[in-house]
Structure 1
Amino acid sequence: MPLIHLEEVAKETFFGLWKIEETPGELEKQLQLKEHELLVLRSLQGEKRNLHWLATRVLLRKMLSTDDYIDCQADENGKPVLINLPHQISLSHSYDYAAVMISRDKKVGIDIEVIKDKIDRVKHKFLNNYELNFINQEHKLEHLYACWCAKEALYKLNGKKETSFKDNIRLDAFDYTETGKISSRIEKDGAKMKHYTVYYRKFENYMLGYVNED
């Protein structure tokens, strides 16, 4: 299936969604994979992981609108980076969807998750007491996933492995609606506190969160 949604969220900053209906072989034919990328692809266990890896790269290619080879690799912290292009990127996937965010000059982060009951069992691992207390019990799962996607998007933007969801990424209280925004910040010892606005939206049974530097 082609790109199903493309949205400009800031100047030269976009996110896109791709619904995965192809086979791994069909997706791979749309890419120009080098040996180091084929090694990564072959190391993935299971067809779903192959589909996710391939779909994010196909979507990245569509959004950049180029026939040239795109060298997408992971840096020392595991953050995807483009070796031969100036853009900042973030990749995500969940079940039947792939999501990509691109900016020419801003750090970005994106996360997509299917909404499942299991998040209620682990909420204390990524939310502090203040954040737990503002969760709307009537829309508990959706509110928790909005928080998770926001923190995951901020984690990806920050790009540092030692960043703790619970201790370093803080969300201000917000009322849950199906589309909204969250004032947030990243606090780390010895580093200047940075403030962000994370946007989220629910579609089908998924939650999407995305953020870019101002």
Structure 2
Amino acid sequence: MQLYFMGIAYRKKVDDDTELALWKIEENAEELYQQLQLDEEEQSYLQKLSNSKRYLHWLGTRVLLRKMLNTEEYIDCRADEHGKPYLTSIPYHISFSHSFDYAAVMISKNKPVGIDIERVDQKVERIVKKFLRPDELAFIQPKHRIMQLYICWCAKEAIYKCYGRKEVSFLNHIYLDAFDYHKAGVFHATIKNEMVNLNFEVAYFQFNEYMIGYAKEA
């Protein structure tokens, strides 16, 4: 099911406890800032980002989170030692992403989630061997190579965020099952290293010139 609200470019209910949304950042920083309640630590952090794209992205994800949770109360959103965001007093798992003019947020009541949004560009070819192994490159279809590479990148990024630990290599620890290219789809993946062996369900879809991937433990 896809839902649309003022200010939200796209909203999807993944299941009864999980949803994601995209916010197209058309406001200036002051307009976004006025929609938030921030404590001193957050305000201090924002001063370091002032006048940068990261500043708008940070504000955009927090505004979108507030809309999705449908609250006017202060939201205490922190990051753990691995940089994974979490809410201190609201029982939701969360994940943030952003790319150019869009912010993306995913929330779930029952399990960790991860989301990634990327604007599709030929530049992905430069880093292919840094995140895909030969067995994964083998299932990339030449006709849809760039789009499928972005699906793989978004999938690994979403899995990385879902797992939430820094000691994971895209190339060496995240394994994608083979899949054929479609404009939207679902496939499975695994994190394997000396510490963990976890299975994930990954879904993806195209939105205009962007690719979105999201993941949760299977």
TM-score with structure 2 setting the length:
0.95
Counterpart among 118, 123, 145 of residue 128 in structure 2:
123
User: Match for residue 133 of structure 1?
Assistant: 138
CA distance in 2, matches of 1:177, 1:46: 38
The DSSP-based 3-state class of the residue aligned with 1:8 is strand
Q: Displacement of 1:45 after TM fit?
A: 5.7
Q: Does 1:205 align with 2:209?
A: yes
Gaps of 5+ in 2: 1-5
One-letter amino acid of the counterpart of residue 202, structure 1: Q
Counterpart among 83, 108, 113 of residue 113 in structure 2:
108
Counterpart among 89, 94, 113 of residue 89 in structure 1:
94
One-letter amino acid of the counterpart of residue 143, structure 2: E
- Which aligned pairs between 1:168-207 and structure 2 lie closer than 5 A? 168-191=173-196, 193-207=197-211
Q: Does 1:147 align with 2:141?
A: no
Q: Please tell me the root mean square deviation across aligned C-alpha atoms, in Å.
A: 1.1
Q: Displacement of 1:5 after TM fit?
A: 1.7
Q: Does 1:158 align with 2:168?
A: no
One-letter amino acid of the counterpart of residue 39, structure 1: S
One-letter amino acid of the counterpart of residue 189, structure 2: S
CA distance in 1, matches of 2:82, 2:117: 20
User: Match for residue 3 of structure 2?
Assistant: none
Q: Does 1:54 align with 2:70?
A: no
> Any conservation in 2 of the 1:171–1:185 contact (CA below 8 Å)?
yes
The DSSP-based 3-state class of the residue aligned with 2:61 is helix
Deviations 1:103-154 (A, max 9, x none): 1121000000001111111100001110111111111110000000000000
One-letter amino acid of the counterpart of residue 87, structure 1: Y
Q: Displacement of 1:94 after TM fit?
A: 0.3
Gaps of 5+ in 1: none
Deviations 1:45-67 (A, max 9, x none): 64311110000000000000111
Matched pairs, number:
213
CA distance in 2, matches of 1:130, 1:44: 40
CA distance in 2, matches of 1:76, 1:190: 18
State the identity as a percent: 52
Q: Displacement of 1:213 after TM fit?
A: 2.8
The DSSP-based 3-state class of the residue aligned with 1:151 is helix
One-letter amino acid of the counterpart of residue 178, structure 1: K
> Any conservation in 2 of the 1:24–1:47 contact (CA below 8 Å)?
no
